[in-house]
A and B are shown apart, each in its own frame.
Chain A
């Protein structure tokens, strides 16, 4: 199943950068210097693309056929091995740790070839959430996780429609800081209280 996209963000087409129309961009260059800059360009393209479409995860196989890695007008596409390499680069310190592989198969992201793409890292989401709580005077109020991610009250908020797991991760950051507590019975009945 493809990631559900909030309709508001899928209507506008993503403005691809100029180098997206440059055929060699779709082949990773052997020269280490060129390669590094290419990895960086791909990294920023992936981040702005996923941000535009509000994607929180990326699957190597699924995304292979999306416009992100496939430019139909050039008839060029990035091979899955290169997608993997770019995502692995993004998960490293050099790449800003903007990607985290899901699954246990080590750093190379074996398993499902699926990863989190953090155009906003959990800590950054935590800040967004905290300032929202502060702004709306909801300290000490019990909120359900569903309410935060899907509720009518948060429509229009940046985190509306956020992946529930990522939401929980972000709240986990606040829990660690002692700013919130998650409680409740069962995965889908979780609530959070901010302090």
Chain B
């Protein structure tokens, strides 16, 4: 408790004060409830002793205390509303602070990007540069003969092979259609051929069984 680091703000203290007040009202209500209960008990006791006037007095006191109770209820409600309002205001303030921070950061980032004109200028510049590049390559390729071009491409190929390390001659992809149906047919044919080849054996075997 002694260390007063500023994690607790003035608002916190104000809220605490209000909540403490609320607690006190709570305790007050408890006390009054005990009192009213006792007054009822006293009234009952007095009636038992046939002391009507005293019983009446006790009941009057009870009535008065109950009116106090009602009043404190109202006070309690208004105190609670106020506390809630303050707490909500604190939340709102925090939200606002968050928004401020976010906006600030966003603005800074925008500033780094140099504003809309900056972005436009940059985009324009990059388009220009791209166009220029295209022009250069067109000029270069335009000036070369077909033979030169072929040589350049050959060299590129050679270089690519070198870069890829081993000189792998990849097989060409098959140019014919895959003969799936034909293989099925072939299989059938093969089977019949095999069966024909086997038949003599079976024919020889069957009679022996029969």
Q: A residues bordering B, Cβ < 8 Å?
A: 141-144, 146-147, 150-151, 175, 181-184, 189-191, 193, 195
Contact = CB atoms under 8 A, between A and B. Distances in A.
A79 B87 CA distance: 55
Contacts of A191: 12, 15-16, 19-20
A191 B1 CA distance: 10
B13 A144 contact: no
A193 B12 contact: yes
B23 interface: yes
B19 A147 contact: yes
B139 interface: no
Contacts of A144: 16, 19-20, 22-23
A11 to B, nearest CB: 20
B7 A142 contact: no
Contacts of A183: 1, 8, 12-13, 16
A61 B87 CA distance: 48
Contacts of B20: 144, 146, 184, 189, 191
Contact of B19 (A143, A181, A195): A143
Nearest to A144: B19
Given A142-B15, A183-B16, 8 more contacts: A141-B87, A144-B19, A144-B23, A146-B20, A181-B8, A183-B8, A184-B13, A191-B19
13 contacts: A142-B15, A142-B16, A144-B19, A147-B23, A150-B23, A182-B1, A183-B16, A189-B16, A189-B20, A191-B12, A191-B15, A191-B20, A195-B7
A151 B30 CA distance: 12
Interface string B3-36: 0010110001101100110110011000000000
A160 B13 CA distance: 24
Given A183-B1, A184-B16, A193 B8 contact: yes
Contacts of B26: 146, 150-151
A149 B23 CA distance: 11
A193 B7 contact: yes
A172 to B, nearest CB: 9
A134 to B, nearest CB: 18
Interface in B20-54: 20, 22-23, 26-27
A168 to B, nearest CB: 9
Contacts of B13: 183-184
A153 to B, nearest CB: 11
